[in-house]
Structure 1
Amino acid sequence: MKLLWIVSAALALATSTSVAAPDAFQASYTVSAKGLDMGIMNASLHYDGETYTYQKTTKANGLAALLSGDTLTERSTGKKQAAQLIPEQYLHHHKNKRKDRKDEFRFTTPTQVEGTFDGNAYQLSVPKGTLDMAALELHLMEALATNQALNYRLISKGKLRDYRLRKLGKETIEVPAGSYVCEKVEVIHDNNERETTLWLAPKLDYAIVQVRHKEEGDVIETRLKQYQ
């Protein structure tokens, strides 16, 4: 199901080489499309000594689960050095009744990557500080807190990609977890066929509170249900 892939991509939007590591947390989100409840996403960041694990698991529910059995697991693991998180391994596993697709890689050095996407092996030379699509969310939180530029490099589907965002100002929104004053940010896409907007709450150390993605006339929303 395309829904979970879009949710994952929409939520993955940052990189930096000089940000501070966020505190450990757990969060859950509702996922809806066309006004219907489609799934739930659980996210958690844990530390174990000098290592970190950030994992997100999204599962379809209700009718969507019966029709597709869709699940998406995304995980970034790496080192915590002083105030920085340095990714080492990444997994993106999207599975349903029709397909079982993986995107996984590891940094063999700070500028070399080995991985497989959809069963095809690849190697990349990348700039130092390049991130995976999960770890970059953690860097975005601190980038907003410290007013850094939102221009990013990351690896996705076996390729090195650029992401750019821009701030749209403050906005107060209501989500299942409550009311939050948020920093509103949009992704700068290469075409006008897609729109991705994020709301991040300073009260929660700039955790993502809501994401709205528009594509081909469809609107998918991910909204915070619980955070601790």
Structure 2
Amino acid sequence: MTKNLSKALGITTATSAVILCASLSSHAFAMAPFQASYQFSYNNKNLGSATRTLSQQGNNWTYKFAAKAGGIASATETSQFNFANNKITSQKFTRSSKILIHNNTMNINFNPSNKTISTQKDDQKRSFAWQAGVLDELNAELQVREDLKNGNTLQTRYFIADAKAVDERRFVKQGTENVKTSYGTFSTIKVVLLHDKPERNTIFWLAPKLDYLPVKVTHNDGKSSYGLLLTGYSGKTN
């Protein structure tokens, strides 16, 4: 259970690209800082809380996800990146999680100058070829959101780096759905992240009214499931 709970606390997601003219993208559809809070659940039991925070300093952006499950477990993920012309350029990704006395860490450094991506998961270090447009597990969600905002179209493929390699992923729109939260009821776009294994699925409900923020996220992995449900938001609205 502790292994699955660690994955649950590290829940992240996904999003990238029809480019509008520069004046339009820098105005109504520009990426904007925000903070959101969530109820975290594991196997349909409310265990704790989580936050998503996007901050900006010039063209440098930081996206942070943090979750706690009582005094049992905690996890933090941070993505640093640049953003221009509706495209994210990854710089660095870090993850740390703690279950009781067990700690796990992962770091990814994107190095376009020497065309490599360097990773370290706990004590295991790797390096593999860099390629343009590669995202991390956290900022992929932001890229999907920007793609939906700027044309309502998702890319056919998203390339996401993990500790071992760059994997090709697909995000698929599955219509619209109303989602009720303690913060309000929202009309959402339902987006599914396709996994290699049929028993796994991750679903995001993105609310256009809240700048395509995920107001609900669920992940099923065989016998375990976990999710997030919005409890508060401060940021851009449409």
Q: Which TM-score band (shorter chain)?
A: 0.7 to 0.9
What corresponds to 1:51 in structure 2? 60
1:84-111 per-position Cα deviation (integer Å, ceiling 9, x unaligned): 4322111011122242111102112164
SS at match of 1:136: helix
Residues 14 and 139, structure 2, Cα contact 8 Å, conserved in 1: no
1:171-224 per-position Cα deviation (integer Å, ceiling 9, x unaligned): 111012210000011122222212222111111111111112222233322111
Gaps of 5+ in 1: none
Residues 13 and 163, structure 1, Cα contact 8 Å, conserved in 2: no
Residue type at the aligned position of 2:134: T
What corresponds to 2:7 in structure 1? 5
Cα RMSD, aligned residues only: 2.1
Change (3 A) 1:160 1:17: farther
Please give the TM-score of this superposition, normalised by the length of structure 2: 0.84
Identity among equivalent positions (%) equals 24
1:100-158 per-position Cα deviation (integer Å, ceiling 9, x unaligned): 11110211216421121121111110321101111111111111222232521011123
Change (3 A) 1:18 1:129: farther
| Equivalent in 148, 156, 169 of residue 175 of structure 2 | 169
Q: Number of matched residues? A: 221
Runs of 4+ more than 6 Å apart: none
CA distance in 2, matches of 1:18, 1:140: 13
CA distance in 1, matches of 2:226, 2:190: 17
1:142 aligned onto 2:143: no
CA distance in 2, matches of 1:109, 1:14: 21
Residues 14 and 151, structure 1, Cα contact 8 Å, conserved in 2: no
1:204 aligned onto 2:213: no
What corresponds to 2:40 in structure 1? 31
CA distance in 2, matches of 1:84, 1:75: 18
Shift of 1:28: 0.7
Change (3 A) 1:17 1:160: farther
Residue type at the aligned position of 1:12: T
| Equivalent in 188, 193, 197 of residue 191 of structure 1 | 197
SS at match of 1:41: strand
Gaps of 5+ in 2: none
Residue type at the aligned position of 2:13: A
1:63-82 maps to which residues of 2 (within 5 A)? 65=71, 68=72, 70-81=73-84
Change (3 A) 1:130 1:89: same
Shift of 1:71: 1.1
Residues 182 and 202, structure 1, Cα contact 8 Å, conserved in 2: yes
What corresponds to 2:107 in structure 1? 104
| Equivalent in 165, 179, 184 of residue 159 of structure 1 | 165
CA distance in 2, matches of 1:118, 1:15: 30
- Bigger CA drift: 103-112 or 48-57? 103-112
- Bigger CA drift: 73-82 or 137-146? 73-82
SS at match of 1:164: strand
SS at match of 2:195: coil
Residues 173 and 180, structure 1, Cα contact 8 Å, conserved in 2: yes
CA distance in 1, matches of 2:49, 2:156: 28
- Bigger CA drift: 15-24 or 169-178? 15-24
Residues 6 and 98, structure 2, Cα contact 8 Å, conserved in 1: no
CA distance in 2, matches of 1:127, 1:57: 28
Residues 155 and 161, structure 1, Cα contact 8 Å, conserved in 2: yes
Please give the TM-score of this superposition, normalised by the length of structure 1: 0.88
